[in-house]
Amino acid sequence: MDDEICKRFDFPKVELHLHLDGAIRHQTLIDLSIEKGIDLKGAKTIDEVRDVVVTREPSNLAKMLEPFDLFLPVLAGDKDAIERVAYELCEDEAENGVVYFEARYSPHLLCNTVKNTAANSKYGVYMKKGQLGPRGVVEAVRRGFLRGEKEFGVRARSILCCIHGFHDWNDEVLELATNLSSEGVVGIDIAGCSLGADEQYPPSVSELFQKAAKRGIHRTVHAGESSGAKEVVNAIEEMRAERIGHGYRLLRDENAYKKYAIEKRIHFEACLKSSVMTGSVPLIWSQHPVKRFAADNINFSLSTDDPTCFDNSLLSEYQLAYQEIGLTRKQLWNCSLNAARSCFAEEPLKSEIIAIVEGAEV
């Protein structure tokens, strides 16, 4: 990212919608694949890896998620690799002027003790460093974050994901979120995978999120990305979502948009490049939902979603919003303030982050 763009958006930033396993450096993918003898479709250079994992043309969510099936085996079941990715993510975020971020991931997809996980690949279950359960995944992420926080001055927290289609993991996700606040866990989410990306969550998921609400566990839900306005309303009303991951298609129902976005000021985690590459919205920047979000001054922020797969950064997302959609520096700073105010960080950290962003008003 060039100096001019760094200078244009030199205020402190907060990022809320970032998948840890979708934020692996391409070089790290190469290193780990060589170490473990895992074939990334023959890719051995940065450019070759990008050709394999980066979505370059608008597609659909399920198609965009397919590369995860290819590269997650390099990470799953390896506590050292997971710690490395978490640590490197802190450095990458700091380079983008981020002062606080929340990274989300499925502890089950990254472990090697349950069936149907990335560790159970065609290369066999990765067990060289022993068994790694879901809790161990969270602890490995925390170790990486603590090292990264100390070295790069950024603050990082974890959101644990339920995975649509793997609902037998959900209860343990809630228990981990309930018991691991000391390991930096601040909330739960439910996300899709290449096998299930329709956001049609069953009643059992709503019940789990209701239980989380009663326990005081923070909640964000992927909705209105591959589905419609109805799923966003369901996430808020039935699943008690405090934030919505994406949510662009709420605009298909003006009454619902007015109620939840304008009046109730539910926070929307928008991801620009992701939104067009997953086919969630058309590639017409002048008509992008974020333009409407900004015009109505709703409670939304910008995030990268999956830098591994979109070859983006938070600075590039801000530049996209500035150059293609027409958001001003003030509006982009306000995105960061919205994110700070809507983050799941514990006190007094949350108040500290808000004060840092407020103190840099543009």
The confidence score (pLDDT) of residue 192 equals: 77
The confidence score (pLDDT) of residue 64 equals: 87
Q: What percent of the chain has pLDDT over 90?
A: 84
- Characterize the bridge pairing of strands 155-163 and 185-191: parallel
> Is a pLDDT exceeding 90 seen at residue 139?
yes
The confidence score (pLDDT) of residue 165 equals: 86
User: Average per-residue pLDDT in the chain?
Assistant: 94
Query: What's the number of domains the chain is made of?
Result: 1
Q: Indicate whether 99 belongs to any domain.
A: yes
Q: Indicate whether 33 belongs to any domain.
A: yes
Mean pLDDT calculated for residue range 186-206: 81
> Is a pLDDT exceeding 70 seen at residue 133?
yes
- Please provide the DSSP assignment of 157-226 as one string: EEEEEEETT-GGGHHHHHHHHHH-GGGTEEEEEEE-BTTB-S----HHHHHHHHHHHHHT-EEEEEESSS
Cα 331 to Cα 9, 297, 313, distances in angstroms:
11, 9, 18
Q: Indicate whether 5 belongs to any domain.
A: no
Bond preceding residue 203 cis, omega within 30 of 0: no
CB 142 within 8 A of CB 116: no
> Is a pLDDT exceeding 80 seen at residue 125?
no
Query: 127 lies in which domain range?
Result: 11-356
The confidence score (pLDDT) of residue 320 equals: 97
The confidence score (pLDDT) of residue 114 equals: 86
Catalytically annotated residue among 102, 139, 199, 225:
225
Mean pLDDT calculated for residue range 49-78: 91
CA distance 86 to 147: 9
> Is a pLDDT exceeding 70 seen at residue 354?
yes
| Ranges 58-62, 68-72, 135-139, 340-344: which has the least confidence | 58-62
Q: Indicate whether 1 belongs to any domain.
A: no
H or E element, residue 152: helix 134-152
Q: Indicate whether 153 belongs to any domain.
A: yes
Mean pLDDT calculated for residue range 81-92: 99
To which residue do tokens 């950290």 refer? 349
Q: What percent of the chain has pLDDT over 70?
A: 96
Q: Indicate whether 168 belongs to any domain.
A: yes
CA distance 84 to 308: 15
Q: Indicate whether 254 belongs to any domain.
A: yes
The confidence score (pLDDT) of residue 197 equals: 53
CA distance 160 to 177: 7
pLDDT band at 35 (very low <50, low <70, confident <90, very high): very high
Residue type, 302: L
Mean pLDDT calculated for residue range 313-328: 97
Cα 136 to Cα 19, 26, 79, 190, distances in angstroms:
18, 24, 7, 20
The confidence score (pLDDT) of residue 117 equals: 67
Mean pLDDT calculated for residue range 290-302: 98
To which residue do tokens 């920047």 refer? 285
> Is a pLDDT exceeding 60 seen at residue 168?
yes
Question: What's the pLDDT tens digit per position in 209-228?
Answer: 999 999 999 999 999 898 88
Question: What's the pLDDT tens digit per position in 228-254?
Answer: 899 999 999 999 999 999 999 999 999
pLDDT band at 1 (very low <50, low <70, confident <90, very high): low
- The model carries a pTM of 0.96
Mean pLDDT calculated for residue range 83-108: 98
Q: Indicate whether 333 belongs to any domain.
A: yes
Q: Is 346 a catalytic residue?
A: no
CATH number at residue 264: 3.20.20.140
Name which of 249, 258, 199, 202 is nearest 229 in CA terms: 249
The confidence score (pLDDT) of residue 123 equals: 67
> Is a pLDDT exceeding 60 seen at residue 171?
yes
The confidence score (pLDDT) of residue 119 equals: 60
Tell me the range of 16-20, 117-121, 190-194 where mean pLDDT is highest. Answer: 16-20
| β-sheet bridge partners, residue 193 | 196
